[in-house]
């Protein structure tokens, strides 16, 4: 009888205790996100808040945005790579896309100034980042569009050509001409 | 139509493969079925299903399959899944096209060969190359703009984390916790249910705790005995005297396990009130034990249905 009474107490006590714990956890998570948001707002207000590479993805993205705004691209690149380690796909996509835009804008600026050779590496970097972005989200239309813009500045060159198909038949024709006794010409 | 073109292509390439490598494929068919073969922009996924007819007893050598990664400078292989059926192997290929086209043009996706194990010996099956039509995304000559940067799509601003939603979740959970607390409070006769009539011992134990907080005195002890007496009376609905203990326990089986302490309680009570030997009673059954008895009765009464 006593046991049943205690069991009943336990059954009745479990839901409020569990719900209470869940409420505490949700509050803690909300506080955590609010702290993140304060950092993000500070970065958006152009305050140079230090952010480590293992910061939450949303904060890292804001930091990348801040560095891009200040044209500190060499600092932004490692953070984008760090984001690849632990970020959600949409955030990683945005980071690569924004960095690619930054590279391409710098390349376009250099082209406008007539420094064509200096612009080359930045356009190539931009194309690589657009490609990373598209690898993450194949239907990223902004990245597709800007990759098209970048590709009209510097086109991809095949690193190697495959040797089947047309190339192979051309070789075979040349071989034929060297073989003696092949009938050629009219009667 | 597309199927016929693919078939024709396969036939042509099979002949080519047979020329290049006599004896390969042994006349067995390899078919490539693409979801579509035109209209690919840069970044689009290209899926194809390759069916390789296999002779009986043959198994696919999975080590000979292409590995996901770059295929050519403009094409990545992203995924390959294998399904082996009786008499055929189906490869589901997912490529990603990165060719940025200036005009619509066919691009050839390279073929590859896979090995089959037939009995003891290996046989090579050639999957022919096939073509997709890539398309340009923009006009060849867009309208001139002063600043070339104006051609670009804009950056995407970093968003804020959705903290407000978690506040709402926390609030909802706290509300639910409070609601879930109500049955427990009712069960224990707490808070708004503190006057619950069928929880006399829960009320009594609160009274005893107040007495304990006041410090142990003779009057306090007597009052505690009275409090327990009234609680017993209320639990039974009639006056319970020392001789009624057994009938009380018979009527209320939830308290059955407390027969010994209840007997001790009635003895101490008789001694204190009728024997005028309250010091003796306090020695036999100290206030602490009264509290223990009250608590046990409060627990037991919650077992009542």
Q: Is A9 part of a structural domain of the chain? A: no
Residue A70 distance to chain B (closest CA, Å): 14
> Poorest-confidence range of A134-138, B20-24, B82-86, B128-132?
B20-24
| In the predicted structure, residue A177 carries a pLDDT above the cut 80 | no
Of the candidates B122, B107, B113, B110, the residue with the CA atom closest to the CA atom of residue B30: B113
Does the structure's ipTM exceed the value 0.85? no
Q: How far is CA B212 from CA A4, B183, B270, in A?
A: 29, 28, 22
Which range (B75-79, B106-110, B233-237) has the least confidence? Answer: B233-237
Q: What is the CATH number of the domain that holds A128?
A: 1.25.40.10
Structural domain harbouring A30 = 26-156
pLDDT of B234 over the 50 cut = yes
Domain boundaries, chain B: 2-135, 182-301
In the stretch 44-103 of chain A, residues with CB closer than 8 A to chain B read 44, 56, 58, 61-62, 64-65, 68, 94, 97-98, 101-102
Residue A148 forms part of a structural domain: yes
The minimum CA-CA distance between A53 and chain B, rounded to whole Å, is: 16
User: How much of chain B is in helix, strand and coil states, percent to nearest 5?
Assistant: 50, 20, 30
Residue with tokens 């590496």: A121
Which of A6, A61, A97 faces B299 most closely, judged by CB atoms?
A: A6
Name the residue in chain A with its Cα closest to that of B97: A138
- A42 interfaces chain B, CB cutoff of 8 Å: no
**Residue contacts between A and B (CB atoms, under 8 Å):** 179
pTM over cut 0.90: no
The C-alpha atoms of residue A58 and residue B82 are separated, in whole angstroms, by: 38
For B237-262, the pLDDT digits (tens) are 888 888 888 888 888 888 888 889 89
Please state, in angstroms and rounded to a whole number, the distance separating the CA atoms of residues B244 and B232: 11
Q: In the predicted model, is pLDDT for residue B81 greater than 90?
A: yes
Instruction: Write out the two tokens for A162.
Output: 């495959």
Q: Does domain B2-135 have CATH number 2.60.40?
A: yes
User: Quick count: other Cβ atoms within 10 Å of Cβ A36?
Assistant: 19
Report yes or no on A72 lying in a domain.
yes
The total of structural domains in chain A comes to: 1
Give contacts of A146 with chain B, Cβ < 8 Å. Answer: 152-153
Nearest-Cα distance to chain B for A181, in Å, is: 23
């Amino acid at each position: 009888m006593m046991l049943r009474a205690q069991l009943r107490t336990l059954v009745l006590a479990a839901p409020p205790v569990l719900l209470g714990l869940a409420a505490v956890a949700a509050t803690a998570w909300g506080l955590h996100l609010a702290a993140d948001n304060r950092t993000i707002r500070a970065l958006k207000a152009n305050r140079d808040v230090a952010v480590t590479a293992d910061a939450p993805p949303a904060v890292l993205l804001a930091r990348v945005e801040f560095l891009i705004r200040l044209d500190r691209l060499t600092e932004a690149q490692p953070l984008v790579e760090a984001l690849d380690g632990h970020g959600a796909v949409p955030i990683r996509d945005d980071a690569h896309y924004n960095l690619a835009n930054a590279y391409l804008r710098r390349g376009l600026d250099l082209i406008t100034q007539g420094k064509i050779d200096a612009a080359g590496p930045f356009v190539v970097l931009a194309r690589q980042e657009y490609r990373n972005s598209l690898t993450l989200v194949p239907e990223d239309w902004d990245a597709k569009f800007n990759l098209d813009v970048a590709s009209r500045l510097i086109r991809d060159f095949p690193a190697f050509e495959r040797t089947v198909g047309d190339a192979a038949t051309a070789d075979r024709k040349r071989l034929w001409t060297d073989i003696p006794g092949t009938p050629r010409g009219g009667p | 139509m597309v199927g016929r073109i693919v078939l024709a292509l396969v036939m042509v390439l099979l002949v080519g493969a047979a020329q290049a490598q006599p004896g390969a494929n042994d006349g067995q068919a390899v078919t490539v079925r693409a979801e579509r073969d035109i209209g690919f922009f840069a970044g689009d996924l290209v899926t194809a299903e390759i069916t390789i007819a296999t002779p009986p007893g043959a198994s696919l050598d999975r080590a000979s399959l292409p590995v996901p990664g770059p295929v050519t400078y403009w094409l990545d292989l992203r995924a390959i899944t294998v399904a082996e059926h009786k008499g055929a192997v189906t490869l589901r290929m997912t490529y990603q096209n990165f060719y940025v086209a200036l005009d619509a043009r066919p691009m050839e996706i390279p073929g590859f060969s896979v090995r089959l194990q037939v009995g003891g010996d290996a046989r090579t099956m050639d999957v022919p190359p096939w073509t997709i039509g890539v398309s340009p995304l923009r006009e060849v000559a867009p309208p001139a703009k002063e600043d070339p940067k104006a051609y670009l799509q804009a950056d995407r601003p970093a968003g804020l984390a959705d903290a407000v939603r978690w506040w709402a979740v926390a609030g909802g959970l706290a509300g639910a916790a409070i609601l879930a607390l109500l049955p427990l409070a009712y069960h224990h006769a707490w808070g708004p249910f503190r006057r619950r009539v069928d929880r006399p011992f829960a009320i009594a134990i609160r009274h005893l705790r107040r007495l304990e907080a006041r410090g142990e005195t003779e009057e306090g002890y007597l009052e505690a005995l009275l409090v327990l007496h009234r609680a017993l009376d209320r639990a039974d609905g009639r006056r319970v005297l020392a001789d009624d203990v057994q009938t009380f326990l018979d009527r209320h089986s939830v308290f059955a396990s407390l027969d010994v302490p209840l007997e001790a309680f009635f003895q101490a009570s008789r001694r204190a009130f009728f024997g005028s030997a309250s010091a003796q009673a306090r020695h036999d059954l100290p206030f602490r034990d009264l509290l223990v008895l009250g608590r046990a009765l409060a627990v037991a009464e919650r077992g009542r249905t």
